[in-house]
Structure 1
Amino acid sequence: MLVVEEFRGTKVTEQRVEMVERKGTGHPDQICDCIMDAISVALSQAYLAEFGVILHHNIDKGLLAAGRVEKRFGGGEVLQPMELTIGDRATFSVAGKEIPVRDIALDAAKGWIRGNLRHVDPDRHLAYRFRLAPGSQELTDIFARPGAVRGANDTSAAVGYYPLSPTERTVLSLERELNGERFKHLFPETGEDVKVMGLRNGCELELTVAMPLLAAMVNSEREYFERKEAVEAEMRRFLETTCTGFDRIRVYYNTLDQAGRGLGGVYLTLLGTSAEDADSGQVGRGNRVNGVIPIGRPIGTEAAAGKNPVSHVGKIYNLLSHKMARSICKSVPGVEGANVMLMSRIGSPVDEPQMANAQLVMEPGREVAQVEEAVREVMQREFASMNDFCLALARGEYRVC
């Protein structure tokens, strides 16, 4: 069933208060999401190469347990590595042909770490624990049933929206800048564990940022606060030149710091992530698939990261709902914004949802009845290309974290 209607709530941009969070590359929750999805992509490609189809797997149960380190100004050492638990289900053999699931998962995890965490050695700084097992007979059987499109493996729902608000765009762009090549070249002493929390109160935006400095590159408390001041000044320059729509933007950086308390009053890490000794991570606690954690927006409860891309609606509908909302706003004149809700019924083909609901924010003077048919066509077109979309997910072409 497909229902198109007017959005009758208050737009987030018209609410006095808006809160938005973004967890960056080195945040423990983000690490879990990204690694588990990298494993799903690697397994999907291995299954396709060997059997021509993507087989049952869900690598969406992951836990990064913090390690232990000893820090000092100018350096330190790792006393106990972080531990990454990789779960949940995968296909290990077909018709007597074995698939090296553990090796594929380990290579994908280490590859992501090498490519994203500059100071983490995946061989020395992490231990790996595998809790992968074959799936249940009924859920595995979905992949053996006839049909051009797989049946949904769950009765579940997801919601997406477009466009991002100015607050959401600012929070997202700041984190990406802080973990981007330009900023890390300017300030190589900054770690990847960035967290940005945005609070818009009327037309004023406050951004609270957490980002460690690297102990090996800071030789004293005085130097720490000097470097912190320079980093904060560059954040302000970036925001002043790239972010508009606010009367004032204020930045608060590493607000737990307190001069005079030595190591107890500064945010230092050895490896660039708090997972080295302070904070553990878990799949599903990070960003939504559009890159932010939007307090006050409609958000689903499913974690997309690591779920298989052809049957698990927790991944497919999470990403497709946002894609649909964007397509509607970009291609249908008169639509200013859209929320799209998709709900599956277990066993039904994923391109035939139990409900597809588009709630539209119209431009002044426009009515939903004027665009309903065009919106339906956009959504039906997206469902018609479901197989191509799922294969794109399997290649990792859509970010889920």
Structure 2
Amino acid sequence: HHNIDKSLLAAGEVETRFGGGMVKKPMKLIFGDRATFEANGVSIPVGEIAIQTAKNWFRENMRFVDPDEHVKYQIEVQPGSSALTDIFRRGGRILEANDTSAAVGWAPMTKTERIVLSVEKYMNSKEFKKMFPESGEDIKVMGFRKDDELELIVSMAFVDRFIEDEKDYFEKKALILKEIRRFVEEKSGFEKFKVQLNTLDVPGRGLDGIYLTVLGTSADGADSGQVGRGNRVNGLISLNRPQCSEAAAGKNPVSHVGKIYNLLTHEIANEIYETVSGIREVYVWMLSKIGRPIDQPIVAAVQIIPDSSEPFDKISKEARRVVDYKLEDIEEFCMKLAHGKIPIC
């Protein structure tokens, strides 16, 4: 049992400089909430596991963050309540839900959603980092469509060790912006689009007028972060879509429906859209009840917007079949979650 989904990354303090700055105070990663520290007489080193997992993530995803030097760790995890941990002692192939929670997933992504996600993934790809080593991992892409015109506002941390002076910054920024525009023109499907990068920048103000970091993330000296405040499980924050309020990261993958249903609704929606003809858009809603087996939600509703090419009775019947199949297969789905085979962002 574990629900370590109340974690906070507190920003550190840095001094940015052209040619490379310094970290004056490391970031702090605080782990909070509940976990099992002993099972069947075996002690579980929860704190060590959490810290090592975080260090591995930093090494794999942040090129310039040394997880031993640039991050401090604070464990505020306590044993779980007897009622919730008893869910595991009760056993059974399918565990009972440890919360009453609702989730919603949908498909397909719009053209705007697809290009927003694609731009961020491309800018954080190995290919892009090889071309532009000065580009940091801290990237935000805001997309806005009006009629048939797309506007993208991109924020990207630059790494100061690769920037010689203000002139060099703006020259490299121009090259990166050109590459983003090329990618959008090739991949988006929009004939009219506008892309802007780091719009707070002001030439002539030196370090104060540009977006520089030491480690490639604004968390090194500016912005803190918290579980649940970032992207949803599909990698986006779509303001015109219904959203689940649960944070998926940190929750256990076998009984916490705040994680399971959050991801399962999206998987079911995508499966319905891809396998059932006649659908323009589909939403899947699920509601659990604490203490009830997770394969038996009290609500599993499908909202379909048809394209009028198929009889609705046929569409409805096939959609129900997908939902039933996915719920019957929920044990395998949970195991994929447990082994990290399904990304949660």
What TM-score do the two structures reach when normalised by structure 1?
0.85
Measured in 1, the distance between the counterparts of 2:332 and 2:184 equals 38
Measured in 1, the distance between the counterparts of 2:104 and 2:111 equals 20
Tell me which residue corresponds to 1:325.
269
Give CA-to-partner distance per residue, 1:350-398, whole Å, 9 cap, x none: 0000100000111224342222221111100000011000000001111
Tell me which residue corresponds to 1:77.
22
What TM-score do the two structures reach when normalised by structure 2?
0.98
1:339 Cα deviation from its structure 2 partner: 0.1
SS in 2 for 1:191: strand
Tell me which residue corresponds to 1:233.
178
Q: 2:86 aligns with which of 123, 141, 163?
A: 141
Tell me which residue corresponds to 1:32.
none
Residue segments in structure 1 that go unaligned for 5+ positions in a row: 1-55
SS in 1 for 2:97: coil
| 1:397 matched to 2:344 | no
Q: Which amino acid aligns with 1:234?
A: E
Tell me which residue corresponds to 1:107.
52
Tell me which residue corresponds to 2:219.
275
Residue segments in structure 2 that go unaligned for 5+ positions in a row: none
Tell me which residue corresponds to 2:321.
377
Q: Which amino acid aligns with 2:47?
A: R
Tell me which residue corresponds to 1:223.
168
Higher RCO structure, 1 or 2 (CA under 8 Å, sep 6+): 1
1:331 Cα deviation from its structure 2 partner: 1.3
Q: Which runs of 4+ in 1 moved over 6 A?
A: none
Measured in 2, the distance between the counterparts of 1:141 and 1:227 equals 57
SS in 2 for 1:314: helix
Tell me which residue corresponds to 1:306.
250
Tell me which residue corresponds to 1:6.
none
- How many residue pairs get matched? 345
SS in 2 for 1:72: coil
Indicate conservation of the 8 Å contact 1:304/1:315, yes or no: yes
Measured in 2, the distance between the counterparts of 1:68 and 1:121 equals 15
Q: Which amino acid aligns with 2:237?
A: I
1:125 Cα deviation from its structure 2 partner: 0.2
Measured in 2, the distance between the counterparts of 1:334 and 1:190 equals 43
Instruction: Indicate the percent of aligned positions where both proteins have the same amino acid.
Output: 52
Q: Which amino acid aligns with 1:161?
A: W
Tell me which residue corresponds to 2:203.
259
Tell me which residue corresponds to 1:284.
228
| 1:210 matched to 2:142 | no
Indicate conservation of the 8 Å contact 2:102/2:285, yes or no: yes
Tell me which residue corresponds to 1:66.
11
| 1:119 matched to 2:67 | no
SS in 2 for 1:295: coil
Measured in 2, the distance between the counterparts of 1:92 and 1:239 equals 49
SS in 2 for 1:250: strand
Tell me which residue corresponds to 1:153.
98
SS in 2 for 1:288: coil
Q: Which amino acid aligns with 1:343?
A: L
Indicate conservation of the 8 Å contact 2:277/2:310, yes or no: no
Indicate conservation of the 8 Å contact 1:360/1:368, yes or no: no
SS in 2 for 1:192: strand
Indicate conservation of the 8 Å contact 2:18/2:164, yes or no: yes
Superposition CA RMSD, Å: 0.9
Q: Which amino acid aligns with 1:323?
A: E
SS in 1 for 2:16: strand
